[in-house]
Amino acid sequence: MNSIAVLNLGTGNLRSVQKALEHVAGSERVIVSSDHQAILAADRVVFPGVGAIRDCIAELQKTGLDDVVREVVASRPLLGVCLGMQALFDMSEENGGTACLGILPGKVVHFPKGMLGKGGGGTLKIPHMGWNRVKPSREHAMWTDIPTGSRFYFVHSYYAVPSSYDDVAATTEYGHEFASVVSHGNLFAVQFHPEKSQHAGLQLLANFVVWNGES
């Protein structure tokens, strides 16, 4: 039986991620685990995250799961979600500057204060919270049956700035355009929460269940 492992760093509501995956996984088994062997035995891995990047990276390094994530990316599909996306880059401005996993070249920065809505509307709030449109910037198997401009649910104050635009799979507008989805080889990572994004989010997870990476 094929399986999907959800990386357990001891934080966040992993149960909601697990339930959403189980809803679309068919015969695939979904586990939540921090066990190296169980994660590396899975066919696909989800790297979710909430909270502070410093705590996330510290836990990854303490448990050795940082090397597990690197091994997964080199060998099978990995889906990064929210903080799990940000942790993949070289560094984040959060917590006074935090070195991250360095799997993707680039950095994570804070939304600038005083951003205005479209047409000179009122000052935008930080964090960016709620539904917003995601516009794919290139074709990818993970976009199957998801209409262009579908809305997904965001909660974040920091966003990724990839060094290479080739790694950007979709953008979103909030004060300015930012990379809301990145992909490279076996890696596909999203700033939004697919498990909270209703039909479009479930479709994205369903696509991940059958995605073989490298596309």
Residue 121 has pLDDT above 90, yes or no: no
Which stretches does DSSP call E strand in the chain?
A: 3-7, 29-33, 44-47, 78-81, 91-92, 98-99, 106-110, 128-133, 135-136, 151-156, 158-162, 168-174, 176-184, 187-190
- Can you tell me the mean pLDDT for 72-97? 97
Q: Residue 67: which CATH number?
A: 3.40.50.880
Parent domain of 96: 3-210
- Say whether 23 is catalytic: no
Residue 11 has pLDDT above 90, yes or no: no
Strands 106-110 and 128-133: unpaired
In this prediction, residue 105 carries a pLDDT of 98
- Say whether 193 is catalytic: yes
DSSP for 79-111, written as a single string: EEETHHHHTTSSEESGGG-EE---SSSEEEEEP
Q: Phi/psi class of residue 185: alpha, beta or left (left: φ > 0; alpha: ψ in -120 to 50)?
A: left
Question: One of 59, 82, 94, 156 is an active-site residue; which one?
Answer: 82
Residue 120 has pLDDT above 80, yes or no: no
Q: 94 lies in a domain? A: yes
Q: 215 lies in a domain? A: no
- Can you tell me the mean pLDDT for 48-52? 88
Q: What is the model's pTM?
A: 0.96
CA distance 36 to 8: 11
The one-letter amino acid at 182? V
- Say whether 195 is catalytic: yes
Number of domains observed in the structure of the chain: 1
Q: 172 lies in a domain? A: yes
pLDDT digits (tens, 9 = 90+) for 165-178: 999 999 999 999 99
Q: Do residues 136 and 170 lie in contact, with contact meaning Cβ atoms separated by under 8 Å?
A: yes
What is the band of 97 on the pLDDT scale with cuts at 50, 70, 90?
very high
- Can you tell me the mean pLDDT for 172-200? 97
Residue 129 has pLDDT above 90, yes or no: yes
Question: One of 128, 156, 184, 193 is an active-site residue; which one?
Answer: 193
